[in-house]
Amino acid sequence: MSPESVDETVRRNLVKTALRVLQPLDRFAQQCHAAALMLVRDPRMPEGRVARGYCDGVWGQHSWMVVGSDCYDPRALIIDPTLWSYDESVEGIWVGRLTDRPKHSPHHDWSFWVCKPERGDGPDIPMEHYGEMSRTARAYMDAVLPLDFRGWCSFWSHVGVLDWPAAEAIEAVYAQPNLRGAIPIDLIGMLTDLNPGGLYLKEGGVSVPSSR
């Protein structure tokens, strides 16, 4: 399968290099995150990061590599090394873009304004690093603050990350230990350079936030 949106020479070269990195490819059947992370870490591949979300033809959450740093850019090249093991219509390593079929959808790829966080009855937890964010980021957060811990969890579980400086807010909240566990690991991994657990970028990494 070769999506028409990708130059055939570019696609062929990416597939050839990825096959060298993952050889033999069969050992990565349905091991999507491990395969994508191996591609990201290999110096023979272009710079990129692991993206995580959903894909047509895959029955659960799925991971792939995005070339570049923006997992939500519909123009960015993506390399899916294991789609073939879920979808028999795919042969070998798939290279395309988010809008190609089968469509890849990274987590939280919708508007900020869809989210209406549900507060609990606990005390408000202010953002300690609120003032370090840009005026734009503060304006968006002002639309939902104040929040208690349940509200913070609800916000990050449902908020879309398109068209607002979500990375700034995530970094500010992550810097506050009592709120780290409210942020889904995939949002931290796809939007910041924190690289939780070393699972999204080539180098570095911070401890994985505790699950809630």
Whether the CB-CB separation of 115 and 144 falls below 8 Å is answered with yes
Rounded CA-CA distance 152/177 in Å is: 13
Q: Characterize the bridge pairing of strands 62-67 and 78-80.
A: antiparallel
Q: 211 pLDDT exceeds 60?
A: no
Arithmetic mean of pLDDT, 34-47: 98
pTM over 0.85: yes
Question: Which 3 state secondary structure label does DSSP give 96?
Answer: strand
Closest CA to 181 of 155, 210, 151, 152: 210
Q: Which amino acid is at 52?
A: R
Q: Characterize the bridge pairing of strands 48-55 and 94-96.
A: unpaired
Q: 149 pLDDT exceeds 60?
A: yes
Q: 5 pLDDT exceeds 80?
A: no
Arithmetic mean of pLDDT, 139-159: 97
Closest CA to 87 of 59, 67, 46, 115: 59
Where along the chain do its domains lie?
Answer: 8-106, 112-183
Question: Taking every pair of C-alpha atoms in the chain, what is the biggest distance, in angstroms?
Answer: 58
**Each residue's pLDDT tens digit, 86-97:** 999 999 999 999
